[in-house]
Amino acid sequence: MVWKQIAKLRDFGIEIESVKGKGYRLIQPLELFDRTSIFKAVANPAKGLISDLKIYDQIDSTNTYLLNRLAAGLSSGQVCIAESQTKGRGRLGRDWVSPFGCNLYLSLLWRFQNGAGASSGLSLAAGVAVVRALENLGISQLGLKWPNDILWQQRKLGGLLIEISGDSLGPCAVIVGLGINLYMPLQHGKEITQDWVDLAEIAGAGSAKIGRNCLAGAILNKLLPIIASYESTGLTPYLQDWRKHDCIDGQTVSLCHGNRDIEGIMRGITDDGLLLIDDKQGQRLRFASGEVSFHQ
Ligand code: BTN
């Protein structure tokens, strides 16, 4: 029975409306991920850095997928993309809302000789890669919120979850996980606890509409070369771009650090990617981790 199939698709998160006397219609055109189309959108040097690209309809989490297969010896340049995630993970134990066929959920594995080379600055460099990819696609007014939120007009468009496995001073593997909202159906958007935006709304505000395969290719184009060379370059070549997009510099914020809340004024980042805050006593503090929220 058709209505049963339709109900299944709706359970998957695909928005379908019934049209009187005609049948059913997709509310948004569906562009599924496809290897050939993604590879068409990736050029060298990035293309040569991909060792394998896996695409799944449904997976628990693209990061977890790669983490669980590290022991099997997956090599650098392994990319995993999913249409949907049942246990998409965000920073600080949050869920990442991951409905089917409408956003980008992508993870990339890279192995480093020396864990110190994969320091906290790597996540800032990855943020710069994402912003550069989106800007190349014609999107402006992007911002970065330390450590690695991608914002548009101060609303969350995407985020990075970087996970490191192995020796902090020796060989280690880094999983760079990226989620970008392309078109977030409202029913799922309601589950997001932060102020969010998607590329569909940004396109409505004047940017060109971007295809999902084209976006995945554009991200890999920028992300892969930056991650692959990070052990030798470090953060230095990306500092200027990161600071240009820093959208919380000079703002009054709270930083949740462990079980402490520190109020103060943001003062940018150090050259090695640590966050700087002037606290209420005017003392300059630096942090390697924590969650920044805007002060009301
Ligand atoms: C954040 O801003 O909290 C980070 C979000 C990271 C989400 C992506 S989606 C692809 C990859 N797989 C996951 O489970 N998480 C990351």
pLDDT, tens digit, 9 for 90 and up, residues 72-112: 999 999 999 999 999 999 998 999 999 999 999 999 999 99
Report the range of poorest mean pLDDT among 52-56, 59-63, 289-293: 289-293
Question: Average pLDDT, whole number, for the chain?
Answer: 91
In terms of DSSP bridges, do strands 52-59 and 78-85 run parallel, antiparallel, or are they unpaired? parallel
The response to whether residue 91 sits with its C-beta less than 6 Å from ligand 1 reads yes
pLDDT exceeds 90 at position 14: no
Half-sphere exposure of 119 (CA within 13 A, CB side): 14
- Bridge partners of residue 9, in order along the sequence: none
What are the start-end ranges of the E strands in 113-180? 142-145, 149-152, 155-166, 172-180
* 243/261 Cα distance (integer angstroms): 24
The response to whether residue 62 sits with its C-beta less than 6 Å from ligand 1 reads yes
Q: What is the tens place of the pLDDT at every residue in 112-135? A: 998 766 677 999 999 999 999 999
CA of 35 from ligand 1 middle (Å) equals: 21
295 — pLDDT class (breaks 50, 70, 90): low
Q: What is the tens place of the pLDDT at every residue in 252-274? A: 989 998 888 999 999 999 999 99
Question: What is the SS3 string spanning 209-235?
Answer: CCCHHHHHHHHHHHHHHHHHHHHHHCC
168 — pLDDT class (breaks 50, 70, 90): confident
CA of 222 from ligand 1 middle (Å) equals: 18
For residue 238, what is the enclosing H or E element? helix 236-245
